[in-house]
Amino acid sequence: MNEPVVVPDPAGVLFELEMLGGSWERRYRKLRPEVEDMPWGTLDPREHPEHLVLAARKSWTGAAFQEHRTGAACAETLRRLIECRAPLDLVAVASRFPLDEMVHVELCARMAMELGGGTEIRHDPDAMILEPRLDRSPLQRCAELVVFNFCVGEALSIPMLHGTWQASVHPLPRAILGRIVKDEAAHGIFGWAFLDWAADQLTEGDRARLADVADQAISAIHELWADIARRPPARDSTVHALGWMQTEAYLALARRSMRTKVIEPLAKRGIHVRSTEERPAPPRVER
């Protein structure tokens, strides 16, 4: 008899989360007590214009989903680090990253709830992360995941989160972003530590393939920037209260950080990305 075939829902699966509660939640809270220490209940969405609150709910729900994807990416990378026998201390530090990301998922999701609730996100769980190429050696496939997830994604997220944290004025988003920034410091430098350890074992061909992988990750980030460019304009105080940076300031910092925190450190390690061109963002549609 044939195995049943799972046909993915073309509309995608709803991104929603639950807690099991009881002793499992207590164990989790004990591991990361800072989640409950956030100043929950201090932000009143009624003090802000409705359309901006809706945009902020979308933004924080999107952030929760990005953290969820990053959790899967960190877990996959962790497996590949073990497979290629990366240094034990490096692997041990990386084993904390999936837990950090789950904490970030909860923080962002609860921030959306404080603003009135999460918004609908549908996704394909089979297409959340870069799958490693199994025709590569364990070191090569691990390096590809590290470059995609850490040298691009996580290295860029540190200055962006730090900038958003600095710009946020309300205690709640400020505490949430401050916590995430603290955790992300180790995530952001991890990729470089791995590449420096692996340097002697990587060939020129490997580095050229790693540049392709970095290009792929950079293009995906350019698409996110195009989405951000379509956010509704708003006065500084409101945007900062809801945990954003002003769009232009965010994009300027993002472009600068992509160059100094991603492209230049990769080039220093012999990984030269080719296409750094952004596709022009489609015009903003007023609704």
Question: Which spans of this chain sit near Fe ion (rule: CB under 5 A)?
Answer: 67, 101, 104, 154, 184, 187
CB of residue 157 to Fe ion, shortest distance in Å: 6
Nearest residue (CB) to Fe ion, 57 versus 179: 179
CB of residue 180 to Fe ion, shortest distance in Å: 6
Q: Residue 252: what residue type?
A: A
**Burial zone of 287 (CB within 10 Å; 0-12 exposed, 13-18 middle, 19+ buried):** exposed
Question: Using alpha carbons only, how large is the chain's radius of gyration in Å?
Answer: 20
CB of residue 151 to Fe ion, shortest distance in Å: 13
> From CA 284, how far away is CA 19, in angstroms rounded?
37
CB of residue 193 to Fe ion, shortest distance in Å: 15
Reduce the DSSP state of residue 14 to 3 states and report it.
Answer: strand
> From CA 144, how far away is CA 136, in angstroms rounded?
10
Nearest residue (CB) to Fe ion, 144 versus 184: 184
Closest to 167 (Cα-Cα) out of 253, 62, 86: 253
Nearest residue (CB) to Fe ion, 54 versus 72: 72
CA angle 95, 164, 277 (to 5 degrees): 85
CB of residue 200 to Fe ion, shortest distance in Å: 27
Nearest residue (CB) to Fe ion, 48 versus 65: 65
Nearest residue (CB) to Fe ion, 67 versus 106: 67
Residues in a beta bridge with 14: 122
Q: Residue 251: what residue type?
A: L
**Burial zone of 45 (CB within 10 Å; 0-12 exposed, 13-18 middle, 19+ buried):** middle
CB of residue 123 to Fe ion, shortest distance in Å: 17
Nearest residue (CB) to Fe ion, 154 versus 206: 154
